[in-house]
Amino acid sequence: MKSLQQSFSVFYQYHVLFTRDLFNTGNNTLLKVLNAKNGPQKVLFVVDQGVIDHHPQLLPKIKQYTSRHSAQIICLEAPIAIPGGEQCKNDYGQVEMLIQTINELGIDRHSYVAAIGGGSVLDAVGFAAAISHRGIRLIRIPTTVLSQNDSGVGVKNGVNAFGKKNFIGSFAPPAAVIIDQDFLHTLDIRDWRSGIAEGIKVGLIKDLAFFQFIEDNAEKLKHRDMEVMQHLIYRCAELHLQHIASGDPFEMGSSRPLDFGHWSAHKLEQLTAYEIRHGEAVALGMALDSVYSCLENRLLKSELMRVLGLMKSLGFDLYHPGLSNPELLRGLQEFQEHLGGQLTIMLLETIGTGVEVHQIDSELVLKSIKLLHDFHRNSVLDL
């Protein structure tokens, strides 16, 4: 028998840059990313329609910025607007439209697509860029708390299909991520709060001190203190990047450690036709898995009450009728299928320390849901 073996590694590097007023003509952050030493770079801007609605001067500013820096940027046409939220991920036609535009404008692998918007828009645009010419350079400009501290700084892209979250997608690191805090000022309270859930998540499974920081500053976060929020976003993004570099960035195994609370969150989003924001669903999923961890005698009841108390103080609902939908438990199977291999779910050993398990007791999940329902009604948790 003859055989050949191939082995190689690929080096990836990208920067996450923090700035304000990105498209002020005096701001050179984007110019540094383009690094146009050999002439101007082609850039196609794709913008979340919700961002345009809340920032009506954004498109004129982009035009003014690219005109001012025409020696470094070739803006091929006016920015393309696409619908935000899960709408753009549920409609594959948006991806096809972007691919067609990339083709018609002659965007090549040394050009850039700059996606400006929330996590769903970044996911959809990133996927279109990743499969066009087998990969066009992507600049992510996330505009929500959730996308700035979590999905926007990672290496995944995707859209929904067959009623399943991110069924179609790719692993494709961005060329750069630019975080502009000024976009956060116009967020409604639900979107402001939703991103905090991902901060709580990484604190719970990786960093006790970070969880305590969120606890200590819960009132400030609730009242939209930008300085505290910027610390939360930076630390959350930092922990996310550390995880990506830790050994399995493209999820070749059966473990996804950063997805605490996500097996039920993804299913809840689908069961509620995405009425629930992703961060709201993650909060519900973390509450469920925290109660489950306590029932399994991992997490102390006093720690569980800290977790639930923090989320409640920030305004998260800890129960939703979707949790009692019999279809919820199918989320476990879909979560396993998405990764392949054995079922791997993150639970809590203690605050700041997660533990992976490979079996989930369905009856204990149902008991956890009932306990959350009771806690929602009377603030008492009778374990």
- In this prediction, residue 338 has a pLDDT band, given cuts at 50, 70 and 90, of confident
Residues 6+ apart with CB under 8 A from 319: 284, 287, 372, 373, 375, 376
In this predicted structure, what is the pLDDT of residue 253? Answer: 67
302-336 residue pLDDT tens: 999 999 999 999 999 999 999 999 999 999 999 99
132 C-beta neighbours (distance < 10 Å), count: 21
In the chain, pLDDT over 70 holds for what percent of residues? 99
- Delineate the domains of the chain, giving CATH numbers in brackets: 15-186 (3.40.50.1970), 189-378 (1.20.1090.10)
Q: What is the pLDDT of residues 178-190, one digit of tens each?
A: 999 999 999 999 9
Cα–Cα distance between 129 and 6 in angstroms, integer? Answer: 28
- The chain-wide mean pLDDT, for the chain, equals 94
In the chain, % of residues over pLDDT 90 = 86
pLDDT digits (tens, 9 = 90+) for 185-236: 999 999 999 999 999 999 999 999 999 999 999 999 999 999 999 999 999 9
Q: Comparing C-alpha atoms, which of 208, 92, 207 is closest to residue 159?
A: 92
Half-sphere exposure of 320 (CA within 13 A, CB side): 25
Other C-beta atoms closer than 10 Å to the C-beta of 182 total 15
Give mean pLDDT, residues 30-42: 87
In whole angstroms, give the CA distance from residue 355 to residue 347: 5
Paired strand residues for 169: 158
From CA 156, how far away is CA 51, in angstroms rounded? 22
Please give the average per-residue pLDDT across 1-10, as a whole number: 91
